[in-house]
Structures are given as structure tokens and as C-alpha cells.
Amino acid sequence: MTADAKKWRRIATEEALSIPEVAAGLRGVARAPGNSLDLILVKRIYDAQVDDGPARLLPRLLDLEDERLCDMDQNGVAVQLLSLTAPGVQMFDADTATELAALANDRLAAVISRHPARFAGLATFAPQSPKRAAKEMERAIKTLKLNGLIVNSHTNNEYFDNPKYFPILEAAEALDACIYIHPRAPSDGLDAPFRDYGLDGAQWGYGIEVSTHAVRMMVSGVFDRFPKLKICLGHMGEAVQFWLWRLDYMNKNAQNRGSAPKTKLTPSEYFKRNFVITTSGQESHLALDFSIKALGIDNVLWAIDYPYQPSAPAVAFMDSAPVSAAEKEKLYHGNAERVFHIPPA
């Protein structure tokens, strides 16, 4: 344990796992015909032919109670808020996806029940079948007592502004369950410029994919229909907060010329009312300072992005953040407890 370990209750809010059945399904996806940008990551992690560095990710995704708990102890991480890693079940057919989502949620609930002080979890669902997804969301929150929901951005190249997904948004709002929109690779319409230089993934493509998803939801009026819906964006808000002034200005122009629908609020008003962000995998004090000033201290949560990024620097980043002790309590655990219904220690 680090010297500082006892001082803070560190709840890490975007921490990835897999289960063998989903990993096997993704190996099948990797070997089937197809050419989407997602396959670059899926082939690397689930169908790796050599045991190089990245190939070690799969065992660390599948491990819950060995290396993971040791890593948490060594770095003073009290709780990992776990979620099925990208692309989740969203590349499977609707029936397989629905079945595997329920299985993943059961496994998540089981590991949390074995370590209730160390783990919490976000439930997976299959947007391919919105009505069944809404049922599974209800089971996961009400029966399994999971803490919120996760989706890996687009599904079959469609986004949550599409009314076919409204049963999912309606259920999330009614359940008071925050939906974490985690990245996957850019959808098929955003393909060619992301094919070179490793831009498909965490370097750049993931952020563009999720920020575009969030902006589509705001400017389409989704939050007029679901005013209490809560969305969480990782990776320092996928940079949306840095863009709010121009979004407001240009969305108003677009509304005035009839290319965007009239909405009750501006994008910046929706972003502050309906979104929270986490610091997963984005360890810049300058970006953190701006984000807190732009969104308020209550809307920023700490995360690591385990096992894709190491815990020690994520802890060092927040331990040394230039904020007051009261603010650090909110960033490390208070906001996570409120947004994800995690009981205080």
C-alpha cells in the first residue's frame, strides 16, 4: 500500500472485465468475415497469435479476484466499478447478445456478492433488441442490484438519438440508472480517416465516436424527452466540455436555418444537467482543472481504465491534483457514490 492509501476512499469508475463466453464469442467475430474498425482491437485481444504485451490484456480482463485485487491493494484502490469491456455484446446477433448480456450481469453480481466492499458494477444490455434490453436493465438494477449501465457507443452504426432506442432511455431514466457511454471504434460512416496511424482506437477514434454520440443526443432533443436521463462519459468527457461554447453558438445557427431541431435547452445546459464525466485514462491536471471549472466539482469522477492503463499513475495523478481535500473527496468517491448508488464506506 502507498503511504497515502488510507487517506482516500478511491472508487475507480471505468474498470474493464470480460467473461470467457463473451471472449469466445469475440474470437468467433474476429475469425468471421468482416472489415469494421472494431476488428482491429477484437483481433488483437481475442485472437492474438503471439503472447506480446497487448495479448496479456485478455487474462487480466478475465481475472477478477487474483491479480486485480492485488493491484487494487497495492495502489490503495478501495473499489472498482466493473463493466464488461468494449465492444461488449454489441457485435453479436440480437439473440446471442441478449443471452450473453444476462450471463455477464449474473457473473458481475456474483463477484460483487463475494467482495461487496471491493466491487460494484455496471450492467450490460443488448441494444440490438431494445425491448428485451429494457427488461434486462430492470432485472440488473432491481434484482441483481447493479449500480448503473454501460453501452459501447453505436450499435449497428446507429446512435441513441434514433427513436428505436427510446425504450432503453426510458427504462434508464425510470430506474435512475446512469448509462456510461464507453467507446468502441468509429462507426462505418467514420471509417477511412481512422484506418491509418493507429487512429482507430484509444489514441483518437474512440473519443470522436463517443463525443459524436453525445452531441447527437443533445442536439436531437433526446433530453427534452428524457429530462432526468443521466449519461457518463469517460476519458475526461471525451473532450465535449472544451467545445461547449462553439456548440451552443453553432447549434443556435443551425436551429435558426432549420437544419437542427428546436430544443428547450442549449448543449451546454444539457451537458451540465444530464452528464457526468470521468478521468479514465486521461491524466492531465490542466484538463482536470478546466473540466471542474466548466462542469462543476460534482460532475467529475475518478477512474483508471484498468487493465488498459496502469493503476499507479492514475492514483498519482489524482493524489497530486491541485484541488482542495473536500474536492478530492468528491472526485475520488463522493460523486461516484451519488451517481452510481454505491453505499458510503
Q: Is 136 in the site for Mn ion (CB under 5 A)?
A: no
Of 7-15, 94-102, 142-150, 293-301, which segment contacts Mn ion by CB under 5 A?
A: 7-15
What residue is closest to ligand VNL based on CB? 308
CA 41 to chain centre: 17
Identify the CA nearest to 16 among candidates 183, 133, 251, 136.
183
Of 85 and 90, the one with the shorter C-beta distance to ligand VNL is: 85
Instruction: Rank residues 210 and 342 by Cβ distance to ligand VNL and give the closer one.
Output: 210
Task: Give the residue from 277, 195, 201, 200 showing the smallest Cα distance to 239.
Answer: 277
Indicate which of ligand VNL, Mn ion, none lies near residue 41 (CB less than 5 to 8 Å, by partner kind): ligand VNL
Partner from Mn ion, ligand VNL, none contacting 291, C-beta within 5 to 8 A by type: none
CB atoms within 10 A of CB 262: 9
Which three cell numbers, joined as nine digits, stand for 119? 466491487
In the complex, least distance from residue 308 CB atom to ligand VNL, rounded to whole angstroms: 3
**Taking the complex as a whole, how short is the minimal distance between the CB of residue 201 and ligand VNL, in angstroms?**
5
Residues paired with residue 119 on neighbouring β-strands, in sequence order: 80
CA–CA distances in Å: residue 35 to residues 42, 43, 89, 198: 11, 11, 18, 16
For residue 281, the minimal CB distance to ligand VNL (Å) is 6
Quick one: 71 or 305, whose CB is closer to ligand VNL? 305
CB of 257 to Mn ion, least distance (A): 38
Residue 201: contacted member of Mn ion, ligand VNL, none (CB under 5 to 8 Å, by partner type): ligand VNL
Pair 183, 209: CB distance under 8 Å? yes
- For the bound state, the minimum distance from the C-beta of residue 54 to ligand VNL, rounded and expressed in Å, comes to 8
Q: Identify which of 313, 328, 234 has the alpha carbon closest to the alpha carbon of residue 16.
A: 234
| Nearest distance, CB of residue 219 and ligand VNL, angstroms | 26
Give me the 298-327 binding string for Mn ion, x by CB under 5 A, dash otherwise. Answer: -------x----------------------
Q: Which of residues 8-27 bind Mn ion (CB under 5 A)?
A: 14
Q: Nearer to ligand VNL by C-beta: 16 or 321? A: 16
Strand order in the sheet with 300-301: 11-17, 79-84, 119-124, 148-151, 179-181, 231-233, 275-278, 300-301
Which of these, 175, 181, 115, lies nearest to 147 by C-alpha position? Answer: 175
Residue 265: phi and psi, rounded to 5, are: -120, 170
Pick the catalytic residue: 38, 71, 200, 305? Answer: 305
**Cβ-based nearer residue to Mn ion, 247 or 283:** 283
Sites of contact with ligand VNL (CB under 6 A): 16, 41, 85-86, 201-202, 281, 305, 308
Which residue carries 492485488 as its cell? 70
Please name which of 63, 84, 66, 215 lies closest in space to residue 146, comparing C-alpha atoms. 84
305 among known catalytic residues:
yes
Binding residues for Mn ion (CB under 5 A): 14, 305
Residues marked active site are found at 305
